[in-house]
Structure 1
Amino acid sequence: MLTSAARIRDQQRMIWDEFSAGWNKWDAELLGWQAPFWDALLQELPLRPDSRVLDVAAGAGEPGLTVAERVPEGRVVLADISAGMLRVAEGKASARGLTNLDFEVCDAAALPFRDSTFDAVYCSFGLVFFPVMSAAMAEMARAAKPGARVGAVVWGRAAANPWASLILGTIARHRELPIPPAGTPGLFRCAPTGFMTRMFKDAGLAEVTERQVSTDLVHESPERYWEFMTDIATTVAMGLAKADQESRALIRQDVFALLGRYEHDGAIRLRSTATVVAGTKV
């Protein structure tokens, strides 16, 4: 019988494979939106031209592809549980002429790399989905060389992220969803102040830094925002899938009404806030 963590991982593998097409479709929008978070993360990870780097939960490829451009004599491994997402990343790497990349389908809690292999290890927006975050953090630290920096980006508080909380809150109100148990994968599980610093220190990392970074998700219309979120946000699509046609229509109507509060200069602008954290392998 599968453990709870194994069931979650199997479900996530199928879901992310299914959503890989949406991430490919919205690639330009995702790059423009999340670039400030990735820039802040990479500032915490000193890279040399010959650095060997591990991107855990690499998804559709960024910031790993950007890292590969910065380490032309090095190597970047993109690791993810979803083969579908990695195929998207591989296609983008090929289009950009990048050849210093490897793609590894694996579980973040059981990385298939030797101890002290990488000059930098990071995870961008993946930790919140791991069934056992402490196990993934231990693996990331194990794979890093002594003196290497290990970094992560996670979403901040729900109130500071209306890009997601607006639509998720509306779905929850219509469906009267139960409160998930503590520790359940979810976008905002890493948001409490100091949570990530403690996790990094518990993994044996030192010189831990933590800071907030904010930007806006911008869309030209409510319709465009709705299409984007239902294509790329697995939590949104799963919530809507459990609603009947009438409830789904009401949710959409309420979301559109709420989006009016965020219209500025002819566009919908939704605040997005993340925590960037990094520590040193001792």
Structure 2
Amino acid sequence: MSAHLDQIRDQQRETWDRFSAGWKKWDALVLGWLAPFGQAMIRQAAIKDGDQVLDVAAGTGEPGLTVAASIPKGRVTVTDLSERMLQVANENASNRGLTNFETRISDAGALPFSDATFDAVLCRFGFMFFPDVAAAAEQLRRVAKPDARVCAAVWGAPAKNAWATTIMSTIARHVELPKPPAGAPGLFRCAPEGLMTALFTDAGLRDVREEEVSTTMVHDTPEDYWAFMTEIAAPVVAGLGQADVATRDRIKVAVLDLARQASRAGKVELRSTATIVTGTR
């Protein structure tokens, strides 16, 4: 890996370690919010009891934890760059009484497993942040057994993800944000149509297909939405960090107003859309 990619990887590790407390605090909300994406992946991966399953860049443990609960005779290994995120994953596994679940600190571009080890390989919302997406796709294919399925979820187009754009677009209207270089890690890096299909195909996977899945992020109040996004989203914190106090206050007022406009039956509801891509080894 080049020095530039090493730097990106190290930045990612530092970021996820730093925000691990926020992810732990909001874990229950995230669990419900992202569950439909994990369920779609599990269905596409055709996981069955007794399987050995790998979940790459799993953070606090999902969807690997759900898989482990569903295959008591199988085993799930989850990886992540962030040791602190995996500490939360281990706590979650312990709290659920799961004994067929283990964690490994690992770079997705250099997985520490032998070829053809796993019956299914998952990666939910990790590809957007990998320094080298092609290397990661090849690694996921490499560790999958013949005929095993490799399945990933990535965020769709910004227009279909109000949960993120409600606050990020508001920040961008008030603060001049630096334009990231082409291919830099970011939330919507893998959103372009066909990008993930091409990536999986080029990695040597066959029968590659995509499925769009949408759900809703729900918060009790606009203030809860603001707290959530400012405690778990690094781009939000970075953007607000460039604003002075008065500008930050104006941003907050605007975001809260937009969140109120998105309220239904007293709850803030914001669309969330992902692409589920699946290929066969």
User: What range describes the TM-score normalised by the shorter chain of this pair?
Assistant: over 0.9
- Alpha-carbon distance in structure 1 between the residues aligned to 2:217 and 2:103: 29
The residue number in structure 2 matching 1:189 is: 189
Question: 1:189 Cα deviation (Å)?
Answer: 1.1
Counterpart in 2 of 1:214?
Answer: 214
Aligned to 1:229: 229
Q: Which residue of 2 aligns with 1:57?
A: 57
Residue 85 of structure 1 is matched in structure 2 by 85
CA distance in 2, matches of 1:127, 1:46: 21
- The more displaced of 228-237 and 241-250 is 241-250
Distance in 2 (CA, whole Å) between partners of 1:51 and 1:97 is 19
Taking the aligned partners of 1:242 and 1:8, their CA distance within structure 2 comes to 21
| Pairwise CA distance, 1:180 | 1.5
Residue in 1 that maps onto 2:153: 153
| Alpha-carbon displacement from aligned partner over 1:78-113 (angstroms, at most 9, x marks no partner) | 100000000000001011111111210011101111
Distance 1:19 1:123 in 2: 20
User: C-alpha displacement at 1:216, in angstroms?
Assistant: 0.7
Aligned counterpart, 1:127: 127
Q: Does 1:4 align with 2:4?
A: yes
Q: Give the CA deviation at 1:227.
A: 0.5
SS of alignment partner, residue 170 of structure 1: helix
> With structure 1 as the length reference, what TM-score do the two structures score?
0.96
Aligned-residue offset at 1:22: 1.0
| Pairs within 5 Å for 1:102-181 | 102-181=102-181
- Secondary structure of 1:189's aligned partner: coil
Spell out structure 1 runs of 4+ moving beyond 4 A: none
In the alignment, the residues of structure 2 paired with residue 266 and residue 260 of structure 1 have an alpha-carbon distance, to the nearest angstrom, of 9
How many residues align? The count is 280
| Residue identity opposite 1:106 in structure 2 | S
Distance 1:18 1:142 in 2: 31
The aligned counterpart of 2:36 is 36
> In the alignment, what sits opposite 2:27?
27
Query: What residue number does 1:240 align with?
Result: 240
CA distance, structure 2, for counterparts of residue 163 and residue 147 of structure 1: 36
Q: Which amino acid aligns with 1:217?
A: M
CA contact (8 A) 1:41 1:276 kept: yes
Among all aligned residue pairs of Structure 1 and Structure 2, give the percentage whose two residues are the same amino acid: 55
State the Cα RMSD in Å. 1.1
**What is the TM-score with the length of structure 2 in the denominator?**
0.97
Give the match's secondary structure for 2:121.
strand
For 1:96 and 1:34, how far apart are their aligned partners in 2?
18
Question: 1:243 Cα shift?
Answer: 2.4
Residue 280 (1) aligns with residue 280 (2): yes
d(CA) in 2 for partners of 1:48, 1:219? 34
- Report how far residue 241 of structure 1 moved: 2.4
Where structure 1 has 5 or more consecutive residues not aligned to the other structure, the ranges are none
Between 271-280 and 252-261, the greater mean CA deviation after superposition: 252-261
Measured in 1, the distance between the counterparts of 2:60 and 2:241 equals: 23
